[in-house]
Amino acid sequence: MKFFIDTADVAEIRSLIDTGFVDGVTTNPTLIARSGRGMVETIAEICGLVEGPVSAEVTASDLEGMLAEGRFLAKIATNVTIKVPLTPDGLKACRVLTQEGHKVNVTLCFSPAQALLAAKAGATFISPFVGRLDDVGESGMTLIDEIIQIYDHYPHLNTEVLVASVRNPLHVVEAALAGADVVTLPPSVVRQLYNHPLTDKGIALFTADWAKTGQSIL
């Protein structure tokens, strides 16, 4: 399963690249706004740091506006993936942009039916939002299971399932168990993946026992 980092904070991305876990990056207008920087300069810098796909989202809501913005964003770098919303015009834009050779990430997916439409429109990635579904009392991971099951029935559908709105390490594990292609994680969740109290306890024990020997490896 590929790990994308869900942030527009260039410093955070730099700090995580050395882990070898960064396969791509996802951004959205909210993340760009939080960065306090311009979209074009931010996306360009991220694309220069990361070899994999970098999602840059359109802000227009109409077909012509999405197409114009998507084509503009695609010119920033060769690894830009155009992100469009799962609306009728968004799916039309997805089809056109895909036919033009661009990678497209269809975002804000909340149902299997929506995911099927996105795949039929030629989406490179579908982004189901598991955390937001959990917030309203639905099961986000059930949605992931259903999308993967549907896609598996139709091998000609090449859309990758990109699990978004991830809130905790359990979401990551459940996405991997379900067979999701990609999970996009806030930097804070990436760092949580390392943590387990028994690991910390074991290190403390080994360190204390080694100190008692008075030895040094070097």
DSSP 126: E
pLDDT of residue 36: 94
Band (202; pLDDT cuts 50, 70, 90):
very high
- For the beta carbon of residue 44, count every other beta carbon within 10 angstroms: 15
Mean pLDDT of the 23-49 span? 96
Residue pLDDT, tens place only, 141-158: 999 999 999 999 999 999
Where do the structural domains in the chain lie, given as residue ranges?
A: 2-212
pLDDT of residue 108: 98
Mean pLDDT of the 9-14 span? 96
Mean pLDDT of the 127-147 span? 97
Q: What's the whole-model pTM score?
A: 0.94
pLDDT of residue 73: 98
Does the 2-212 domain belong in CATH 3.20.20.70? yes
Q: Looking at the chain, list the stretches that DSSP marks H as alpha helix, in order from N- to C-terminal side.
A: 10-17, 29-35, 39-49, 63-74, 88-99, 112-120, 130-135, 140-153, 169-178, 187-192, 197-213
Across the chain, mean pLDDT equals: 97
For the record, the structure tokens of 131 come out as 């955390």
* Catalytic site positions: 83
- Pairwise CA distance, residues 129 & 127, whole Å: 6
